[in-house]
A and B are shown apart, each in its own frame.
Chain A
Amino acid sequence: MHSPTTSGPLPRDIQTVVVGGGILGLCVAGFLAEEGREVAIIDAGRPEGTTTNAGSLHVQMQSRFMRMHPDQVPALESGLHLYPKAVEFWFELQRHLDADFGLKASGGLMVAESREQLDFLAKKAERERSLGLDSKILDRDELDQIAPYLGPAVVGAELCADEGRLDALKANTALRRWVRRVGVMVTGETSVDRVSRDGGRFKLDTSRGTVRAATLVIAAGPGSLTLAEPFGLTLPVESEPLHMNITEPTDLFIGHLVQHADRMITVKQLSSGHVVIGGGWPADLSPSEDYAAVRLSSIIGNTSLAQHIVPAIGRLRIIRTWAGINTPTGGPGILGPIHGAPNAFLAIPGEAGYTLGPLSARLVADTVLGRRPTEDLAPFSPSRFR
């Protein structure tokens, strides 16, 4: 699908401008508009730029990542408490909007194929429990009771009760309708090239003219890097193009978010019956670096691993693949005010950003509104990167 022709009129002078219309930008803008703020979203309108999420609700730590980067485990743990709260917040938002996101938090299984992998998961689960997560280890017999769809290669798994999935299409549609309803102006296909101070206001030079705003929220994923530079920040954000696959629909039979102790994969079945296979396989950046293209080796490797773990997937056909751009931050997210730049804020959620999106947006919106956010944002402060 080619880029949308959603370019509405560009506001010239507005109270609050949010750069980026992904999950963060939409939610921040919606929360602010609900409080009576005059808000505009400006999005570069990249083809598929906002579709990295495939609807996983992640809570537990990635054991593969922990084994590869043991030095980064403390950073991972420092932000862990946010994840179960973020899942809970998705449900709250669904109620608040009276919408159907296809949410289901029936737990996530991280499967092990060897005793050694399972032992690692056991230590991880113990650590997670001490940090407040609902995690436990299941042996093969216990797995057969709750997940008979797993193949014989699986010897056991960690079950994290808070994990689950949602239908990202449904959620994004409901969010888009909500922000329109509360009066947010949404302008697509407009890139913000430069941000500067102009008296007491921000001046945004865009591909379609100049916009002035009293308050600026940067929620532009990897594009935040250049936008934050004028404020003396060097953000460790990257563009990570990721690959996803989806099968034809079938009766519901996979009840969990399925991951692997030592390999990149997520498998889940949406309420519509489609099985989504993803989990971090690489895609390619286009030469212009503004969109991602699927990679043949990822289609084969990713789906082949899926049918190894869940054999019945071998019977299904892949009907679509896509690629999106993920924004790793090398640790917890970057949320809150930019110190030394009054009325400028950053909103980048970090690892599993879609799961964290709405809650992160709520926290940032609260700081914008001058309220005390429900979480201490110190570990997420943009000042880390001054």
Chain B
Amino acid sequence: MKIEFEGEALEARPGESLAATLTAHGIRSFRTTERGAERGVFCGMGVCQDCLVEVDGKPNQRACTVKVDRPMKVRREGSGRAPAASGPAAGRPPITIEEIPVERPQVLVVGAGPGGLAAAYAARLAGAEVLVLDEGSAPGGQYFKQCSAAGVAPPDAQHQEGRRLIDDVLGSGVTVRSNASVWGAFRPLEFAATKPGGSFLVQPEQAIIATGAFDRGWPVPGWTLPGVMTTGAAQTLWRTARRLPGKRVLIAGNGPLNLQLAVELVAGGADVVAVVEAAPAVGVRRVREIAAMLANAPRLVADGVRYLSTCRRAGVRLINGSVLTSVVPHSGGLRATIAGRETASFDVDVVCLGYGFHPSNELLRALGCEHAFDPEQRRLVTVRDTRGKTSVDGVWALGDCTTLGGARVGQAEGTLAGFAAARALGCALSAEAVRLEAQAAADTARHRRFQRALWRMYRMDESLRVRPTGDTVMCRCEEVTYGQVEAALAEGATSPSEIKQETRLGMGRCQARYCGPALETFLAEQTGRSQDETSGFAPRVPVKPVSVGDLSNPAGA
């Protein structure tokens, strides 16, 4: 299939994302910001809103979520195009909320990752009527995302495991709706969503929130440059389309996902120059953690050992106790500098950042679910019981959107929450269901133990955190630097809201997902104030940008 980018014809794989097509042709800069900065793929999952392009005359389309399913004309974007020139001649007739269709499933599951799918399956098995809404173009979430591009290598074990779960769910009579963005949650229990071309509401009896997490930012000079992307973004390019983010790649971060990416990119033929891990090298002192991990998930430990040996065989340098400190453009590519135990520079095409995740808890917070602040991880944790019950009646939460635990924990917690929600409806569990529930409880505990040991091993030295320079961008959308925030503080602003008003930080399309946590950390350092569950930005609807045209169009009409 052929698409057109700025008048040039490009070969595309049907089913892949537009970002994958452009990346495969070496195109990394997709648009220019208001201040003249170049931007491209960063998060690769529809969160950062940096990869906006114009598709067939429609502005502000996220290249990472647009599927190439037809020949299309794509153009780079400035800060935004005049919709007066390209907009529709007539609007739709004005509507009121009464005209928006309402669905009333017994159980609504938001998110079709491992946890959401497991929850849907369990609730259905117990006899409940279940609707799953997911913003992706196909179920699977981040961990079980399927290969969507036609004519590429066969699925690997992780793909296949996900496929089995997806097929089980679809075969069980659960309704799974992809491309459905839940943009708002309202008390007591109402959800507002759009699907392509239409708006609808869901008023479930029970709601299970399984919205996962997104990669944290790593604000250092140059982190907004095209070619600097999250580990998740690079992995999505590879796992959904078998496209490499670039030829020469540096991976920097904290955690085992970075190693998995290195192995995948090496298999695809990339030259991964190094994996720079913030945690110190694993030594004999870690024998307790390794024993705990082996006892709880020996297969995952074996995977880890395999990743390490593959990297060594491929000549990938494994550097521990060091972090990325800056990226600058350099002879058509990037020059990335690291510091810590080792100081070095690498000339590469692409830098992948994998410094952990932030929970997507916006819907839970909008519903008023209680959260606590985890000072060590510097993020909110949803308060729930062992079955995922939150402080709000009828709202269940599981997996990475509550507190990070990875796909295995999410899947096991999903089974528990699915059964629990069905019980709340009055469904009786069969003997088989009771057995699965007990198994899931054991799995949850086992994988939590594994995760605790894993992250003790991967704990990074806090002194390695980079002190950003004044010209480092804190807010990607509104292009606000650390220097501007410092200036606002010097002018007398003291609270996040005053800084927001003075600088426009946090007011852009990504809705403060990257700069919010960065500002919190920065303020805590600058003012010595400790963070708690009330600091930072309160959740606002829409939790994802929502098109006025879609809002004004009742679904199905």
Contact = CB atoms under 8 A, between A and B. Distances in A.
Given A6-B494, A308-B93, A321 B80 contact: no
A294 B184 CA distance: 11
B540 A152 contact: no
Interface in B524-552: 529, 534-538, 540-542, 545-549, 551-552
Contact of B548 (A249, A296, A313): A313
Contacts of A5: 494-495, 529
Contact of A294 (B84, B190, B508, B541): B541
A301 B192 CA distance: 14
A108 B495 CA distance: 35
Contact of B81 (A250, A301, A311, A318): A250
B160 interface: no
Given A5-B495, A318-B548, A313 B97 contact: no
B501 interface: yes
Contacts of A148: 84
A314 interface: yes
B104 interface: no
B507 A320 contact: yes
A173 B502 contact: yes
A4 B86 CA distance: 42
Contact of A319 (B93, B497, B501, B511): B511
Contact of B94 (A172, A305, A319): A305
B110 to A, nearest CB: 16
A250 B192 contact: no
Interface string B179-211: 000001010001010000001010000000000
B500 interface: yes
A95 to B, nearest CB: 21
A180 B494 CA distance: 13
Nearest to B527: A5
A306 B540 contact: no
A296 B184 contact: yes
A243 to B, nearest CB: 11
Given A250-B82, A253-B84, A301 B94 contact: yes
A303 B492 CA distance: 36
A307 B34 CA distance: 25
A253 B511 CA distance: 24
Given A304-B95, A309-B91, A248 B551 contact: no
A314 B508 contact: no
A318 B89 CA distance: 20
Nearest to B497: A1
A319 B508 contact: yes
Contacts of A253: 82-84
Interface in B73-93: 79-84, 86-93
Contact of B90 (A152, A173, A247, A296): A152
B96 interface: yes
A348 interface: no
A47 interface: yes
Contacts of A315: 58-60, 83, 86-88, 547-549
B262 to A, nearest CB: 36
A316 B541 contact: no
A228 interface: no
Contacts of B96: 297, 300-301, 304
Interface in A30-50: 47
A4 B504 contact: no
B538 A47 contact: yes
Most chain B CB neighbours (cut-off 10 Å) among A2, A5, A250, A317: A317
Interface string A162-184: 00000001001100110010000
Contacts of A289: none
A312 B79 CA distance: 17
B537 A304 contact: no
A312 B83 contact: yes
B498 A176 contact: yes
B83 A316 contact: yes
Contacts, number: 184
A218 interface: no
Given A177-B492, A253-B84, A314-B92, A307 B552 contact: yes
B360 to A, nearest CB: 17
B80 A250 contact: yes
Given A4-B494, A296-B192, A317 B529 contact: no
A248 B495 contact: no
Instruction: Classify the secondary structure of A's interface with B.
Output: mixed
A311 B91 contact: yes
B508 A2 contact: no
Interface string A77-90: 00000000000000
Contacts of A91: none
Given A1-B497, A317-B548, A308 B541 contact: no
B356 interface: no
Most chain A CB neighbours (cut-off 10 Å) among B86, B100, B552: B552
Contacts of A65: none
B84 A2 contact: no
B509 interface: yes
A175 B217 CA distance: 33
Given A152-B89, A250-B59, A299-B541, A318 B551 contact: yes
Contact of B84 (A1, A273, A312): A312
Contacts of A316: 60, 83, 547-548
A258 to B, nearest CB: 13
Nearest to A297: B97
Most chain B CB neighbours (cut-off 10 Å) among A251, A294, A304: A304
A120 interface: no
Contacts of B432: none
B159 to A, nearest CB: 32
B410 interface: no
A318 B97 contact: no
A249 B94 CA distance: 23
A3 B537 CA distance: 10
A109 to B, nearest CB: 15
Given A177-B492, A320-B511, A321-B542, A248 B92 contact: no
A318 B91 contact: no
Given A1-B497, A177-B492, A315-B59, A322 B540 contact: yes
B496 interface: yes
B81 A308 contact: no
Nearest to B199: A300
B491 A177 contact: yes
Given A6-B495, A180-B492, A300-B199, A307 B92 contact: yes
A5 B551 CA distance: 36
A306 B546 CA distance: 14
Contacts of B84: 148-149, 253, 312
B546 A318 contact: yes
18 contacts: A1-B496, A1-B500, A2-B496, A2-B534, A176-B498, A273-B79, A297-B97, A299-B551, A300-B97, A301-B95, A304-B95, A309-B91, A314-B92, A314-B552, A315-B547, A317-B546, A319-B545, A320-B542
Top 8 A-B pairs ranked by shortest CB distance?
A312-B87, A4-B495, A314-B549, A312-B83, A317-B545, A250-B80, A251-B82, A311-B91
Interface of B: 34, 58-60, 79-84, 86-97, 100, 184, 186, 190, 192, 199, 201, 491-492, 494-498, 500-502, 504, 507-509, 511, 529, 534-538, 540-542, 545-549, 551-552
Interface of A: 1-6, 47, 148-149, 151-153, 169, 172-173, 176-177, 180, 247-253, 272-273, 294, 296-297, 299-301, 303-322
